[in-house]
Amino acid sequence: MIEIVSPGNKDRSHSIRSLIDKTPAFLARGVHVLVVDVFPPTPRDPNSLHRAIWDDVREDTFVPPRDRPLTLASHVGAQEYTAYVESVAIGAPPPDMPLFLDTLTYVKTPLERSYEQTWGKAPAEFREMVLHPEQFPDAD
């Protein structure tokens, strides 16, 4: 499963709690989960969303480096939980991340290349709204 985190996943306590709760539930059933969180930590996940999820799985002391606060984590659902974590700087392209098919086999997810291709095909009006939201005060 791939979870692409949105600002709405982190804006309220119940929203982030829902995300934090469902990931360990998937892992317990043997489902591998790639969590792509390219938004800065909030007061609800001060040490990263990965840490908040991982604390529900097992004790951990992960804290992202100050200069790379964004986290991408590929979680392996198995008897022994494993997570492959990358910390990324704001504005830096995300690395390709493993998406596990079983405990030993994975495919690389081309996150940056996928984003670039999708952005390039987005309508110009949409790109303007994303790049300059202040020009569209009535858009939700």
Distances (CA, A) of 34 to 31, 84, 86, 101: 10, 9, 11, 11
In the Cβ-directed half-sphere of 91, how many Cα atoms lie within 13 Å? Answer: 1
Higher pLDDT pick, 124 / 59: 124
Give Rg (Cα) of the chain.
16
> For residue range 85-94, what is the model confidence (pLDDT) as tens digits?
999 999 999 9
Of the chain, the end-to-end C-alpha distance in Å amounts to 28
> For residue range 8-22, what is the model confidence (pLDDT) as tens digits?
898 899 999 998 899
pTM of the model: 0.84
